[in-house]
Amino acid sequence: MKLKIHPLAIVTVAFFVWNKTYARLLASALLHELGHALAAWLAGRRNLVFTLTPLGFSLYAGELSGPAALAVYLAGPAVSLAIAPWLSPQTLWVLVFNLIPVLPLDGGRIAAVLLGERAALSLGSLALLFLLLLSALHDVPPVGLVAVLILHGRYVASGGYMKIRRAADFLRDLY
């Protein structure tokens, strides 16, 4: 397993550690990604790339498909759900956000395994439009949704799983 650290991540980590709530969120993000990593490792993936980014952590396990992919994509949310009562109640909000069926979030990846990539892309676009409309109607700033919209747009433009790394790198480089 390789470990990468984005240069701006050091500033983010310093802020996260300074604030107890954010420190707990950072710890829950780490455990979430370790859940994905363990499932990927059990599925036979050995060339994992674990990256500390300004937004938290990310894991790249290569292209996955079938039941192994579903297990890997579900493992992170399962860990988040299990640790939320002990670590941070905000972990549940992050979990719900991460399960939005938008590629490349976990919810979108799960939808792609279950429905196929084309259907998951359509579902993700509809989910984003619905959530953006909902945030506008309830006067909620859609900061997180705009970030997901950018990431989803880059994903769609890149053409699929083989180029998802570029989309994730693009979003990290914004910060």
pTM over 0.85: no
Instruction: Name the one residue in this structure whose structure tokens are 């994903």.
Output: 155
pLDDT digits (tens, 9 = 90+) for 4-57: 888 888 877 777 677 777 778 888 888 999 999 999 999 998 889 888 887 778
Q: What is the mean pLDDT of the chain?
A: 81
Of 50, 54, 72, give the one whose Cα is nearest residue 2. 50
The pLDDT value recorded for residue 161 is 47
Residue 153 has pLDDT above 70, yes or no: no
Q: Please determine, for residue 173, whether its predicted confidence score (pLDDT) is greater than 60.
A: no
Nearest CA to 36 out of 115, 98, 87, 121 is that of 98
Give CA–CA dist 158/175, Å, rounded: 20
Percent of the chain with pLDDT over 70: 79
Distance from chain centroid for Cα 74: 12
Residue holding tokens 């700033």? 141
Distance CA 139, CA 19 (A): 27
Q: Residues 50-109: pLDDT tens digits?
A: 888 877 788 888 888 889 999 999 999 999 999 988 887 888 888 988 898 988 889 999
Cβ within 8 Å of residue 128, ≥6 positions away: 100, 102, 145, 148, 149, 152
